[in-house]
Structure 1
């Protein structure tokens, strides 16, 4: 993954969740990756030689009823940054059905505002009406829909160029 330097007064690679089950990232030596903690603060992920970063994805969040919450992260860097990522996700047709968890998991989510209120990446039409970027309650039923939502939000110019009929209806 190649990240360009963040222009002054810019947000870099905007805050987001990954859509899949989990992401394994070899972050490289250049700093810039940040994760958001439960209090909403952004913390730098300090590069550690030969270490991997594991981010939980929205698919895992959805099938566990928010017991596991997707990792909010972003990239802000002054230099070119290179990383190698493996984005683990299933077939695009995989149904996102909840796992059969015991009541203790549901009780734990209900007792934790961070887990109970955790949202998903908002669809483009939701952000137009004020839903926060990672605050959607919408849960796609198949993985491909979730990935498409991410693609449309992250790369609108490409979607508009190659799918003008779809983009115009959003």
Structure 2
């Protein structure tokens, strides 16, 4: 598809430290590296991870919105949000007709010699944001899953102890 792409695309607004400011405070690992006293603390950790996932989704949506502006919207490529069966969201490159997906789609656009250099550089910045946000989402989602699983296991251990303690008291 041969479209007229302006030589100077809209200025790309990078994800700045301000965009991450709220996440920075919520995502401290200080609360992770401690002895957990019960299911409640693990449930809280899982809840915090879920909240961070939601905030990461908002950042992803902002990147998708920028990638949907000209001149990028004129290309045969889209940056889209993909929800997974595991319950998380990732950024993926797709062709306009959704026939192909993945980094190869992005690479083909960057390698296209007819693309202005400014467009290539913009695509590069989108790809770097995509990589970083997907990493962050993966780590936070894994933390959520682990905290949730551990909360269930801890609750089970507490139930078993209560049952044994109650049975021992009755037999006295």
With the shorter chain as reference, the TM-score category is under 0.3
Structure with more helix by fraction: 2
Structure 2 length as normaliser, TM-score?
A: 0.24
Q: Which structure's CA Rg is the greater one?
A: 2
Structure with more strand by fraction: 1
Structure 1 length as normaliser, TM-score?
A: 0.25
Q: Which has the higher contact order (CA 8 A, sep 6+)?
A: 2
